[in-house]
Structure 1
Amino acid sequence: MDIHCWLLDWLSCRDKEGSQLFCTILWKLWYARNQAVFKGIAPDPVTLAQTAVQFIQEFNAANAKQRPHPIYHRREPTTTDQIAEHHLFVDAGCFSNGHTGWGLIMKDLSGQITLSKSKLEAVEVDPCLAEAMGVRWALQEAVGLSIQSLKLSSDALSVVNCVNKASTVASITPIIVDCWNLIEQIPFVMVTHVSRELNVEAHNLAALAKSVGTRCWQGNAPPCLFSSPFCNPVVSRVQAPLFD
């Protein structure tokens, strides 16, 4: 692999101490290099490795009682009771013909659907990546519409956790980084997980994309489209727990 992927694998792996050791050794190597260049002190690899391990042990011992808190890459609301003006639901579907489809629903404060969109691309990706691309697409649409207050919901729990920095999935990290950059352009954003039952409208649009392609409707999509024999169900989806 190239050096970028190599670094990314180490920095995003689930082995906390492994990531710590990797970063600390890089830091110690940099320091040893400066000592050699500017002071003529030859580095000892064994000592370098030992000091790196000791540093990590000391750091973890000092922070053992601190519980990690997820850092949400979003701007916090000015008040704790702020309500999002727009609620977006997004879902993805991977089709057997090598295409990928997405569905997007926008609702207002009253729960009425104000916008429906489907999207189809001739790209074959795994379900987790498809869901991450769907969240990114929804955020792109929100930025394009100059939405200032947004709640975005997906039934892909792993993707939602990555956006909220509660976990990491290396294969979708570049897409998640794009999501963070888009979130920075919206004053108030909440990214939440919903059950599949509460995301059925976006799911139906993702399935509809297979037959109608990329489309946009004000309000609901025409019901006649969903009764078409060409509107087949999504054959591969990310599994999410059946609860909010």
Structure 2
Amino acid sequence: MLSVAPVVVEIQALRWGLSLAIDLHMDRIVVQSDYLNAVDCINLVSNFAVIDHIDADCRFLLDKFCFSSVMFISRSCNLEAHNLVGIVKVVGSRTWIGGLPTLNSVDVIQTPFSS
């Protein structure tokens, strides 16, 4: 079993999201995360040596947007992320673009996903 510090997982997810937004030719992005340590590292408020290279890469990616913001929101306000985790537990790891499917929706099964 491989064990990774939560801050590494969170900031890698942020980096992946930024890379995806760039690949989709988005020019403005607002990133909201309920993981304060990752947000603070990207915003140069704090520093964790284990993710120095990843948060620097995130800042590099953020510079590619006309407008970008990375902000902390409390876990109770991050319902979309928690709903997404629930869906991933059912359908597995997938990528989709557009509206977030719901577990109660047939769209979860019929929506074309790409791995």
| TM-score, scaled relative to structure 2 | 0.78
Unaligned runs of 5+ in 1: 1-97, 99-122, 226-244
Q: Deviations over 1:176-220 (max 9, x none)?
A: 121012112111111110000111211221343233222315212
Task: Compare the two structures and name the one with the higher helix fraction.
Answer: 2
Cα distance change, pair 177–207 in 1 and its aligned pair in 2 (3 A): farther
Distance in 2 between the 1:129 and 1:148 partners?
Answer: 26
In structure 2, what is the equivalent of residue 215 of structure 1?
A: 95
Q: Deviations over 1:24-82 (max 9, x none)?
A: xxxxxxxxxxxxxxxxxxxxxxxxxxxxxxxxxxxxxxxxxxxxxxxxxxxxxxxxxxx
Cα distance change, pair 215–149 in 1 and its aligned pair in 2 (3 A): closer
Task: Give the percent of matched residue pairs that are identical in Structure 1 and Structure 2.
Answer: 32
For residue 176 of structure 1, give the secondary structure of its aligned residue in structure 2: helix
2:53 equivalent among 174, 181, 194: 174
Distance in 2 between the 1:203 and 1:178 partners?
Answer: 26
1:185 equivalent among 42, 52, 64: 64
Distance in 2 between the 1:221 and 1:177 partners?
Answer: 32
Give the alignment's Cα RMSD to 1 decimal: 1.9
Distance in 2 between the 1:124 and 1:159 partners?
Answer: 18
| Aligned counterparts, 1:60-139, within 5 A | 124-139=3-18
The alignment covers a number of residue pairs equal to 104
Unaligned runs of 5+ in 2: 106-115
Report which of the two structures shows the higher radius of gyration computed on alpha carbons: 1
In structure 1, what is the equivalent of residue 111 of structure 2?
A: none
The letter for the 1-side match of 2:16 is W
Q: Is the 8 A contact 2:87 2:102 kept in 1?
A: no
Runs of 4 or more consecutive aligned structure 1 residues displaced over 4 Å after TM superposition: none
Tell me whether 1:160 sits opposite 2:34 in the alignment.
no
In structure 2, what is the equivalent of residue 205 of structure 1?
A: 84
Task: Compare the two structures and name the one with the higher strand fraction.
Answer: 1
Q: CA deviation at 1:129?
A: 0.9
| TM-score, scaled relative to structure 1 | 0.39
In structure 1, what is the equivalent of residue 19 of structure 2?
A: 140
